[in-house]
Chains A and B, each alone.
Chain A
Amino acid sequence: MATIYIDNKPFEVADDQNLLQAVLSLGLNLPYFCWHPALGSVGACRQCAIKQFRDEEDSRGKIVMACMTPVNSKSLIPPLNETRISVDDEEAEHFRESVIEWLMVNHPHDCPVCDEGGSCHLQDMTVMTGHNYRRYRFKKRTHRNQYLGPFINHEMNRCIACYRCVRFYRDYGGGDDLSVMASRGEVYFGRFEDGVLESEFSGNLVEVCPTGVFTDKTYKEHYTRKWDLQTAPSICLHCSLGCNTIPGERYGEIRTILSRYNGEVNGYFLCDRGRFGYGFVNSGRRIRQPLIRNDAGGLESSTPEAVGDKLASFLSNGAKMIGIGSPRASLEANFALRTLVGADRFYNGMSADDSRLVASAIRILQEGPARTPTLREVESADAVFVLGEDLTNTAPRLDLAVKQSVRRKPIERAAMLRIPEWDDASVRELVQDEKGPFFIATPNPTKLDNIATQTYRATPDDLARLGFAVAHALDPAAPSVTDLPDDVAQLADSIAQALKESKRPLVISGTSCASEAVMRAAANVAWALCQDERAGEVYFVVPECNSTGVRLMAERDVDAAIEAVQANEADTVIVLENDLYRRAAGTSVDTLLDTAEHVIAIDHQTHRTTEKAEAVLPAGTFAESDGTFVSSEGRAQRFYQVFVSNGDEQESWRWLQELMGAAGQLEAPAWENLDDITAGLAQAYPIFEAIPKIAPPAGFRVVGQKIPRQSPRHSGRTSVLADVNVSEPKPPADSDSPFSFSMEGYTGAPPSALISRFWSPGWNSPQAINKFQIEVGGHLHGGDPGRRLIEPSDDAKPEYLNDVPASFKPRDGELLIMPLYHIFGSDELSILAPAVAERSPQPYLALNPNAAASLQVRDGEVVEITLDGVAQRLPAKISPELPEGTAGLPVGLPGLCGVTLPAWSRVKK
C-alpha cells in the first residue's frame, strides 16, 4: 500500500496501480476514454489529466495523465518523494474540459438518433467536465461506414479515436481484421474492406466503444433506450462457462444482452454467441400456449385449465411415470420434476456419453487434489495444456481467458525493467509476439493454434496417450505409455518440462471429444503437477449450462430412460426442456416416444420431441424464469426473471407443481416461491446445501424496498405497454425474488448477485461498473456472485487413473466420424437467433486430403455417410489437419443426424 494525497487529503491505495485506477477505486470521478480496466493504459486521449505536485511546497505543479502516472512516485523519472495530486485543480479541470471540446470538434451531435444515447461514455464525460458550448465553427470531417456483419453496426463519424476498439479486438482478443487506418484527424477504425467481423468476441466492441461507433445491430432492429429496458441479472445458457449477463426487455421481447461484470467469471466480456444468441426468446418457434393432441393427431392450442384436466386423467390413476430432466433447465425445474416422479424415476436428460463424461469430470475434481480455476484465474496461468477441446467453439469465453494467460510468462520481463503491467503499449512492445508455453492437442485445427507453442492432431485415443505420457514424464508414478512414436514422446517431454517450469500450470480438457480416457489423462497431468507446493489446476469444459448441476442430481441418462420404457417399467414420460433427438439415436428416441403411452413435454421451443408429445406445456425461457445453473467451474449461479410474458408461459417448476396437483399427489410440497424449492434442493442434496445462500431470498429488501427491474428514468410510466394500451397496468407481482417489475424501489447498489444494471449518478454507460467494484477491474463489492460447489478435498491423494488406451487403428473402408463444434451453430438455442444463424455454417463432412483423394472427391462434392442407421448426404470440406482414418461432422446443426459421435461410418461418393 502507498499513501497518496489527493487535493491534500491522504488516502491509502495499492501501489502497483496508476493514479487513474487509484482515483476511481477510491470512488472519485475522473473522466477518461482510452483507458479500460482490462486493457490498461496507453495515454492516447489525454482526458484523465490531473495536477501532480513535487511536494507540499510546490504550488505550481504539472499536468500529467493519471492513467500513465504510477501511484508510486519513487518509480518516476526523476523520482518524487511523495505522491501529491489534485483532481480539482483549476488548470487540470480546464484541460479536461478542453479535451472534450476537441473530441467534440468532429463528433456529430446526433445523440437523439444514436443507439448509444443514454448509455454513452462520451455523454457522461462531457457532462462531467462541464463542456457545453460549441466554439468550433467549421465543417466536420466525415467518414464512410462499413458493413461489419449481422452483429455490429458501424457509424464512424461518431468516433473519438480512443483506440479502445482495436486494442480490445486485436491486442486483447487476438482478432486481426479490425485495425486503424490513415492518420491525423482522419484516423479510421474498421476493416480492410466491408465484411463480417471475424472475431468471436466482436460484440464486446459495443461496450468497449465509448460512443456509438460500434453498436449492437440486433438491438437496432428493435431498439429502445437503455433506460426503457427492463433488466435483471442473468446467466448465459449457451455453453457451460456461466458468464453473467444482463438481458434487456421491452414489450415482451429481449432486445439486447450486455455483459454483467463478475470479477471471477466473465469480467467485462462475453462471446458473440452469448451476446447475440437471445433471439430464441422472441422466436416464432416459441410455445406460447398449452398444446394438446387432438383426435386428428395434430397438436392444437388449448387453455391451461383444459390441459390440466386432460393431464389429470393421464397422471392420476397409477400411471407409471418417469421424468426426463435437462442440462439446459435450472436445478429448480429439474428438482421439481424429480419431486413429481420420485428420485428413482428421474433421469438427467443427458446422452449416455455426456452423462458418463460429466460424471468423470466431477469425480476427478472432487476426489483429486487439482482445483478448477475461475476464468479470472485462468488468465493468470503461466503454462497451459489443452487436451481435446476446441475452446473457441466449445467454451468461447475461455478462449479469451487463455489468450491472456499466454502473455503471463513473457510479461515477467516487464517487471524486471520496472515497466508496470498497466502500461499496456510498453509491455506489448517489450514482449512483442512472444508467447508463454501453450500446447494444444485436439483432433481438429483450432483458432488458437496460431498462438500455441506446439499443436498436436490426433484421435481421442492418441490424445489420451499423449496426456498420459505427459503425466508420466512429470511423475514416474503415473502410468506410462508404451510404444509412443518418438515425436510424440518428445512432445510429451517438452510439455511436461514447460508445465513443470511454470508457477501456475493449467490443464484444460472436457467432454467434447467424448473420450473419458482424454479426461482421465488430463486429470493425471494435473495431479502430477500438484506436488512440491505447486497447485496444478484443471478445467473441464462440459456440454451445457447446467450439465454439471443436473449430473450432480441424477446418474441415469436418456438411454436408461429409453430402456425403462422399453422394459415397460414406465408408460408416462414427462420431458423437461429437452429435445431427446439431440441426446440419443433417432431410432431409439422414436421407440421411446412411440412406446410410451403418454408423453408430456414442457419447453419453450418447438422441436422434434415436442412435436411428438401428447401434451406440451409452455415453459418460460431463462428470461421468464428464475433459477440456478451450475457451471463447468462448479459455480452455482442464480438467474432472474427479466419479464412476465403475455402468454401462458410460466417457469417449468410451476407447471410441474401443477402436475403434482393433477396427479393427485397429496404429499406434494407447498412451494410458494423459488426459495421453497432451493430449500428443498438443499435438503435433498448435501452438495446443494449452499444453493439457498447464493443470492438473497425473495424477502430480501434494502431499506424496506424491493430492487427495481426498471431504471428510475423508465419513460412513459403510464404507457409501458403503449403498444397495447395507454392506461397504466398494475405491475406484476414477483414472489420469487427481491425484484419488482417496475421502477419503484431501491436505486442504490444492491448486493452483487442482484445487480440488474450498472448505473451510478453521472455514469450511464457500462463504465459505471467501476462504481460497483472494490478496486476498478477487481471484485464486486460484497464478493463476486455465485458459489463454488466443488473443491478438491484437502488431503486428496488418489491413485493415478489408469486405462491408457491403445493407439488408434484406422479401419479399412470406414472412417471414424469425429464431432466438430461451431460457436455459431452447435448450440441448440442460440442458432434460433437469426443473427447467429446467419453466421453458422451449412452442414458438411470434413475430410482430410488423403481421405478425399482416396474417395476421389473434391472440396464441395457430395458424399454419403451413415450414422445411427441413417444415411445422409453432405458436401465434403477438405480439412488438412484431420488425423488419418477420421472425418469430422459438425455437431448440432439443424438437419444433421449423428448425436453419438465419434462413430464409424462408411463414406461413399
Chain B
Amino acid sequence: MSEPIREKPLTKNFSPGEAPFDLKQYESGGGYQAVRKAMTEMAPEDVTGVVKEANLRGRGGAGFPTGMKWSFVPMGDRAPKRKYLVANADEMEPGTFKDRLLLEGDPHQFIEGMILAAYAIQADVAYIFLRWAYKKAEALLGKAIAEAYEAGYLGKNILGSGYNLELYLHTSAGRYICGEETALMNALEGKRPIPRTKPPFPQTSGLWGKPTIVQNVETLCNVPHIVANGADWYKSLSYSGNGGTKLFGASGKIKRPAIWELPLGTPMRELLEEHAGGMQDGLKFRGVLPGGASTDFLVEEHLDLPMDYEPVMEAGSRLGTGTMVILDDKTCPVGMIRNLELFFTRESCGFCTPCRDGIPWTHRLLDAIETGDGKPEDIDNLDFIINTITRMLGRTFCAFAPGAVEPLQSGLKYFRDDFEQHIGEKRCPYAS
C-alpha cells in the first residue's frame, strides 16, 4: 500500500462555526477554475476521460465507476434533445451524515461539480434532489445557485462556451427510497417514487425517458478537483487504485463522533482509535456497520481493514457510504437490529413481495425476541427470510431489500448467542 499524499481537497474550504464561502471567497481559493478550464480547453469527452482515468468511484453507496457511467450517455447530434443531470442529495441512510456536511460546508464546490458533470454529458437541465430535512443546506444552495447564475456559471452560454445549463433545486418530502436513483427519477417526475427496472439504464432512458445521470453529492464534489489537478494527482490521494479521499464518519458511543476526510483505504482502526478517540469510557467495541444501515456488521477481527471498496467487500460487508455506526458492549445487538429492520419495514416502497412482506416479518420476529416473546424457531424463520432474499441483487426489484438483509444476516452470524439468550431467558439481557 503506497503512502498517499495528504491533502483534503473536499474540506479545504471548510470553516467550522462560520458561514461557508460565498462566490467571491470560493473563487479566490481557485473555485470555478475547473469549470473555466473545461469550458475553454476541454471537450465534454475530455472531462469524462479524466474522471474515468482518475478512478473516481461513486460515493453514494454502490461504488460504480463514475467516468464509466458518463461514457454510456449518448453524445453528439444524434443524442436525444434533452439530457439531465441529477445530484442525489437525499441522504437518508441511517448513520450517514457526510453529504449534509459537504452541502453546508461548501455549496459552491458541489455546484461546480454539477456543472462539470452536466457539461461532460451535455445535459441541458440539472436538478438537485435534496431531502426535506436539510433546511440549512437548502438555504445555502439557493443562495449559491443564484450567485452562480449571476456570475455566468449557469444559464445560457456559460463563460461564452455556447453551453447552456439550467439548474434547479428540488426538495423532497421524506422517504428513504427516494435516494435509490431510479425511484428518485420517479419522485422528480412527480410520480410515486418506486424504483424502475434496469435495463434500460438511466444513461439512455432516465428522467422522462431521456438520458440521465444521477450522482451522489460527494462524488460530484470530487469532480472539480480532478478536472483542475488531473487524474494522477487524484489517484495519489488514496492508498489504493481507487482514486481520492473519502469522507469517513462514525457515530455511536465513541468519544468524538464526526466526519473526517482521509485517503481511501485508511484503516478502520485508525479511524476509530485516532480520529474518533476510541469508545466512550467503560464501553467496549462490539461491532460496526461500516457504511450505513444497509451494510453488514464487521467485528473486532476486521478492525485493521483498510476502508476501501474491495477490502470491505472481501470481509463480507460493503464500504457503503463510509460512515460507520458503532455497536458497543452495553447496547443490545438484537435491539439494534430490530431498530434497523423497523426502518426498512417502514421505508419499503411496497412494490415487490420479498421486501414488502418479508422484511416486516423479520421486524415482527425481532420485536418478539427482543420483548421476551421469542420462540426457538424464530431464529430459523429469520434465517429462512435472510437466505431467501439474500444480499444478492436480482431477487428483489431493487437494492433496498438486499441492503435490509445485510445487517440482519451478519448480526445473526456474529451475535447469535445474544439471540439465543433472549429467547432462552424470555427477556432482553441488556435491559437494566
Contacts and interface: CB of A to CB of B under 8 A. Distances in A.
Direct touching of A and B (C-beta under 8 Å): yes
Interface of A: 42-47, 49, 62-65, 68, 77, 94-95, 98-99, 102-103, 105-106, 135-136, 138, 160-161, 163, 180, 182-187, 417-419, 423, 425-426, 429-432
A92 B199 CA distance: 22
Interface string B332-373: 000000000000011111111110111011001000100000
A108 to B, nearest CB: 14
A68 B205 CA distance: 17
A431 B209 contact: yes
Contact of A180 (B192, B199, B204, B396): B192
A409 to B, nearest CB: 15
B209 A430 contact: yes
B394 interface: yes
Given A102-B358, A429-B205, A432-B209, A184 B352 contact: no
Shortest Cβ-Cβ A-B pairs, 9 listed: A102-B357, A430-B209, A187-B350, A98-B388, A183-B350, A138-B364, A184-B348, A184-B350, A105-B357
Interface range for B: 35 or more
11 contacts: A44-B352, A45-B353, A46-B353, A138-B368, A160-B353, A180-B192, A183-B175, A185-B357, A417-B205, A418-B199, A430-B205
Contact of A103 (B345, B353, B388, B394): B353
B201 to A, nearest CB: 8
B204 A417 contact: yes
B395 interface: yes
Given A136-B361, A430-B205, A184 B347 contact: yes
B353 A185 contact: no
B64 interface: no
B200 A161 contact: no
Contact of A426 (B205, B208, B349, B364): B205
A103 B352 CA distance: 10
Nearest to B186: A429
A774 B397 CA distance: 30
B197 A68 contact: yes
A561 to B, nearest CB: 59
Interface in B382-397: 384-385, 388, 392, 394-397
B350 A161 contact: yes
A187 B196 contact: no
B396 A184 contact: no
Interface string B183-212: 000000000100011011100110011000
Contact of B199 (A43, A182, A419): A419
Contacts of B360: 105, 184-185
Contacts of B348: 183-185
Contact of B197 (A135, A160, A163, A425): A425
B381 interface: yes
A105 B345 CA distance: 14
B347 to A, nearest CB: 7
A105 B348 CA distance: 16
Contacts of B358: 98, 102
A607 to B, nearest CB: 50
B351 A44 contact: yes
Contacts of B353: 44-47, 99, 102-103, 160-161
A691 B208 CA distance: 51
B98 to A, nearest CB: 27
A567 B15 CA distance: 108
Contacts of B397: 43-44, 46
A186 B357 CA distance: 10
A184 B353 CA distance: 10
A185 B350 contact: yes
A426 B196 contact: yes
A77 B395 contact: no
Contacts of B347: 184
Contacts of B396: 46
Nearest to A42: B197
Given A99-B353, A103-B357, A185-B345, A63 B205 contact: no
Nearest to A49: B395
Contacts of A425: 196-197
Contacts of A185: 345, 348, 350, 356-357, 360
B356 A432 contact: no
A849 to B, nearest CB: 34
A184 B197 contact: no
Contacts of B385: 98
Contacts of A64: 394
A185 to B, nearest CB: 5
Nearest to B390: A63
A45 B352 contact: yes
B208 A432 contact: yes
A426 B377 CA distance: 42
A121 to B, nearest CB: 14
A644 to B, nearest CB: 46
Nearest to B349: A183
Interface centre among B350, B353, B381, B395 (most CB of A within 10 A): B353
Contacts of B384: 98, 135
Given A45-B352, A183-B350, A426 B197 contact: yes
A647 B149 CA distance: 85
B366 to A, nearest CB: 12
Interface in B379-427: 381, 384-385, 388, 392, 394-397
A263 B364 CA distance: 47
Contacts of B349: 183-184
A629 B360 CA distance: 55
Given A63-B395, A187-B350, 5 more contacts: A45-B353, A46-B352, A94-B388, A106-B357, A185-B350
Nearest to B177: A183
A723 B426 CA distance: 58
A426 B352 contact: no
B200 A184 contact: no
Given A64-B394, A185-B348, A429-B205, A95 B197 contact: no
B77 to A, nearest CB: 15
A499 B62 CA distance: 48
Given A182-B350, A430-B209, A77 B199 contact: yes
Nearest to B380: A135
B394 A62 contact: yes
A49 B388 CA distance: 12
B205 to A, nearest CB: 5
A77 B72 CA distance: 13
B410 to A, nearest CB: 21
Contacts of B388: 94-95, 98
A106 B361 CA distance: 10
B352 A43 contact: yes
A136 B378 CA distance: 10
A45 B396 CA distance: 9
A185 B199 CA distance: 26
Contacts of A44: 351-353, 397
A419 B205 contact: yes
Contacts of A77: 199, 201
A280 B62 CA distance: 62
A354 to B, nearest CB: 46
Nearest to B211: A417
B390 to A, nearest CB: 9
Contacts of A161: 350-351, 353, 356
Contacts of A63: 392, 394-395
Contacts of A187: 350, 356
B205 A186 contact: no
B200 A419 contact: yes
Nearest to A187: B350
A99 B354 contact: yes
B68 to A, nearest CB: 13
A63 B381 CA distance: 21
Given A43-B197, A44-B353, A136-B361, A184 B346 contact: yes
A46 B199 contact: no
A883 B394 CA distance: 57
A429 B196 contact: yes
Nearest to A135: B381
